[in-house]
Amino acid sequence: MSEPTPPTTPASTGRIPHGPFRPGDQVQLTDPKGRHNTITLQPGKLYHSHKGSIAHDDIIGTPEGTVFRSTGGTEYLAFRPLLTDYAVRMPRGAAVVYPKDAAQIVAMADIFPGAHVVEAGAGSGALTCFLLRAVGEHGLVSSYERRPDFADIARTNVEKFFGGPHPAWRLTTGALEDALTDTQVDRVVLDMLAPWECVDPVAKALIPGGMICAYIATTTQMSRIVEELRGHGAFAEPYAFETLLRSWHVEGLAVRPDHRMVGHTGFLVTARRLADGVTPPLRRRRPAKGAQRTDPATPGDTSERPSES
């Protein structure tokens, strides 16, 4: 286990640059078919494609939203990439949390400016970028990553997006259940294979009213984390859900759903931390028939259907 990595440049603000393009800026060039190509501006360099080239010097000093024509006659629209663009195209070790899920995590886990958020694991750093945007410079995101190689990838991706070390980020290499030292935590986001293993240390770190949010891939993982949260006793009733995203084709009167959509990427489970010593209210939800097996000799048995006369 390594020590947390502190910010190395206190002057770094984590803000995305605005104004004219400058050397070192990332620029997203979009061709007429909507295909994106991201470059890092360097004086004297050329962007090359089979449709010709564009000089970086022609882009430097111009505002976002400018159109450039390649030597082959193709026009490209230039913008700085959005975080949603960067997240899905960043170099990755672990799979990234896609923007539709990152947006739900920020909203449904109520990540707010100034919050102290614990994240495990850091993966490739995509969710970390969204969390840092949400907590701002006066918050704190403490990320824990088991694998040193993934931690290195996450650090590179986060610092590349923000233009340097973010003052609100602390990265620790190690398992959260072994390395967690944070206390008085507002929110915990678990993006890991077995989040139920971390419920007890998370409960000790969270403030009353704080939230845990687990991002998992399968229904069996979802069932296990929900039952672990229910059985632990320190959390209110969990809420489990997923989000589907479908874009639309709009061209004059031709308005229809696109043929492809971003369907299942993962499930989210959230729950609130109760005050110490409080017993959660008894659930009064009627289970579906067959959800829980009962003794056939007891009243209300649903394991067998009565015969028809």
What pLDDT is attached to residue 96? 87
What pLDDT is attached to residue 242? 94
What are the residue ranges in the chain where pLDDT is below 70? Answer: 1-17, 285-309
Give Cα separations from 39 to 21, 23, 27, 42, 298 (angstroms). 12, 11, 5, 9, 70
Query: Which residues face 134 on adjacent strands?
Result: none
Spacing of C-alpha 294 from chain mean position: 41
**First vs last C-alpha separation in the chain:** 69
What's the residue count for the chain?
A: 309
What pLDDT is attached to residue 203? 97
What pLDDT is attached to residue 288? 65
What pLDDT is attached to residue 300? 45
Query: Which residues face 251 on adjacent strands?
Result: 254
Q: Which CATH architecture has domain 85-272?
A: 3-Layer(aba) Sandwich (3.40)
Q: Are 94 and 119 in contact (CB under 8 A)?
A: no
What pLDDT is attached to residue 95? 85
* Whether the bond into 121 is cis, omega within 30 of 0: yes
Tens digits of residue pLDDT in 258-296: 988 878 899 999 999 999 999 888 777 666 666 665 555
**3-class DSSP assignment, residue 122:** coil
What pLDDT is attached to residue 16? 60
Extents of the domains making up the chain: 26-81, 85-272
What pLDDT is attached to residue 263? 82
Instruction: Write the CATH number of the domain with boundaries 26-81.
Output: 3.10.330.20
